[in-house]
A and B are shown apart, each in its own frame.
Chain A
Amino acid sequence: MPVQVRGEVVSLRRAGLYTVLTVTAPGVPEITRPGHFAAIAIGDLDSSGLILRRAFSIHGVQSRGIYGGTIDLVIADSGPGTHWLTQRRRGDALDIVAPLGRPFSLPRDPVSCALVGGGYGAAPLVMLAEHLRERGCRVDVVLGASTEDKLFGVLDAKRIASTVTITTEDGSAGVPGRVTDPLVDIMARANTDVVYACGPMGMLAAVADVASQAGILSQCAVEEAMACGIGVCMSCVLPVIGDDGITRMVRSCVEGPVFRGDRVRWADIGTVPPDTLGAPSSEGIPR
């Protein structure tokens, strides 16, 4: 169950184009699983002009230490809210709601896992890799970005994974191209049983497709714009096929952010497919 806590900034450090924020979050690390996210209020609760929380997947946790429990978040400075976060200083207060969402499912048996991260989408994969290794799983990591400075988590991945493959679209690091290019070979070589992915929607769609074609399950953590992060505002929906075969517009904040790749209707994101439960019956009538 998520909690709302007042945290204190412990540190900010640069990592490529990103900022890794470490903040105290009493009670949060103990209940955080890989794939959970945190929603942070921007500015003061009583006066901020930016009233929507920003959601970040939790990159790491430390449950003990001189600061008590802390969490690490990876911030890409991409607007006024994230910019404000990158300007915090040690000791500043932050209002945190965490852990949120449905985390990655972990295999019971020591299977072979491929982890695919796009840009700072790699943030939750380090903790995931550690959990998988503890269970005796083989872990192969593929990290990709458009350019080298947008890669995240390369050193951590090298520490944990059996193999690490880097791709950049401009060829500035690793293999030129996209994460899906080397993925097929890696899956064949490592006898991959399950693929975990986090990154932009287009990348997730491609990874889910590669996994499906190989008859392998994939778990994809989506990045959908959220207003509340706790399941009340209905902003962050996407079309997902349920166990009953019916497509519904489901909330990525509570039913996700991790979905089975074969259940998300990737090509239909941003639309309401006509066969969705409760879809408008005819065009032209305002619904």
Chain B
Amino acid sequence: MTTQLAGIDLPGPVLTASGCAAAGKELDQFFDITAIGAVVTKSIMMEPRSGRATPRMAETPSGMLNSIGLQGPGIEAFLEHDLAWLRERGARVIVSIAGGTTQEFEAIAHVLRQHDGFDAIEVNISCPNVSDRGQVFACRADSAAGVIASVRRASDPAIPIFAKLSPDVTDIATIAQACERAGADGLSLINTTLGMVIDVTTMRPALAGVTGGLSGPAIRPIAVRCLWQVREVLPDIPIIGMGGIRNGSDAFEFILAGASAVSVGTTVFHDPSAPIRIQNELASLAALRGFTRLRDAVSYAHRDPDQARVEDADGDLELPEWV
């Protein structure tokens, strides 16, 4: 069983989400990371980075806020230790990259071009642009497209580039179209949405970083909405869907809205074996709904209202080919 995503073949349609799986090693204790679609690594920057002070996390209803501040070892140590291990392990890898300037994104892409052992690049444009008063790249079409065009130019043409979009925008479809025009081979939807918690005992913000990214099941309807809106204007671009997926049914919802593959993020904190469980549940549910290939279910919720529905399977379920 394989899943096709922007021209690459993956073992399945369920991936980890960036920042929720480190570089795969920890989760490999709980399930075989080579059996899922791919490990999407924590966003890596050019230099080592300490991240923010603690508290970095606050639990919220059906979700959590985080403000980690992109802690990481820098691209060189990442390549030497993390990517080398993933490659040795035989896992499929999507490297997430982040930068404070367009130039930093481009420089990381240049470094990555000198290496192999990964399948795609996810560009985390939900970072503050230090050259633009900390405005987040993903919040404006021109700055988002600028980063994507630079990374696309600097990268091996055989490596697909996914733009990871923020939901904190007025019109996500416009940003998605700008990224596609700038050369994105695919999109990742969605990043966390900005939130805040005030501790009523200390009467101060709960996070040292004051605001944080909200993730988990609480944001799932926002993610499905974003996916739907982007799919309406870009019928063909490959999309990795994510945002609060915690079971096969949630994953199937994203497929129906237009995702070719899904990422499981915050749920990993709750259930470290969730990615493989969800991949299996998704296969069963797709089969139950009568799909013999997952591809046929992608964007199925967008079909004409008068188009007849695929009939549910009866009798023994035959699990679908992912393709």
Residues of chain A touching chain B, judged by Cβ–Cβ distance below 8 Å, are: 1-2, 4, 41, 45-46, 48-53, 81, 95, 97, 224-225, 227-228, 230-238, 248-249, 254, 269-272, 276-280, 285-287
Contacts and interface: CB of A to CB of B under 8 A. Distances in A.
A270 B55 CA distance: 7
Contacts of B47: 278
Nearest to B56: A235
B130 A272 contact: no
Contacts of A52: 57, 59, 64, 269-270
Interface in B50-91: 50-57, 59, 61-64, 66, 68-72, 74
A231 B42 CA distance: 12
A235 to B, nearest CB: 4
| Residue of A52, A225, A254, A271 contacting most chain B CB atoms (<10 Å) | A52
B177 interface: no
Given A237-B51, A278-B74, A227 B134 contact: no
B-side interface size class: 35 or more
A234 to B, nearest CB: 5
A233 B272 contact: no
A52 B20 CA distance: 13
Contact of B62 (A45, A49, A95, A236): A49
B219 to A, nearest CB: 12
Contact of B59 (A1, A50, A271): A50
A227 B48 CA distance: 23
B266 interface: yes
Given A232-B268, A232-B272, A278-B48, 16 more contacts: A49-B62, A51-B63, A52-B269, A95-B271, A97-B272, A224-B54, A230-B27, A232-B22, A232-B27, A234-B56, A235-B54, A237-B54, A270-B55, A270-B208, A272-B53, A286-B130
B14 to A, nearest CB: 16
Given A1-B29, A4-B30, A232 B270 contact: no
25 contacts: A2-B29, A4-B273, A41-B271, A45-B246, A45-B271, A46-B246, A48-B270, A49-B62, A225-B57, A231-B22, A232-B20, A232-B268, A233-B57, A233-B269, A234-B19, A234-B51, A234-B56, A235-B55, A276-B50, A278-B48, A278-B50, A286-B130, A287-B49, A287-B52, A287-B70
A95 B267 CA distance: 14
B186 interface: no
Contact of A45 (B59, B68, B270): B270
Nearest to A42: B270
B217 interface: yes
A232 B59 contact: no
Interface string B133-165: 010000000000000000000000000000000
A237 B71 contact: yes
B93 interface: no
A1 B267 CA distance: 21
Contacts of A95: 271
B32 interface: no
Contacts of B71: 234, 237, 249, 278
B128 A286 contact: yes
B50 to A, nearest CB: 4
A123 B174 CA distance: 55
A237 B74 CA distance: 18
Interface string B230-267: 00000000000000001100000000000000000011
A41 B270 contact: yes
B216 A51 contact: yes
B26 A230 contact: yes
A-B interface, 4 closest residue pairs, ranked by CB to CB distance from nearest = A278-B48, A235-B57, A228-B269, A286-B134
Given A235-B57, A238-B54, A287-B69, A53 B130 contact: no
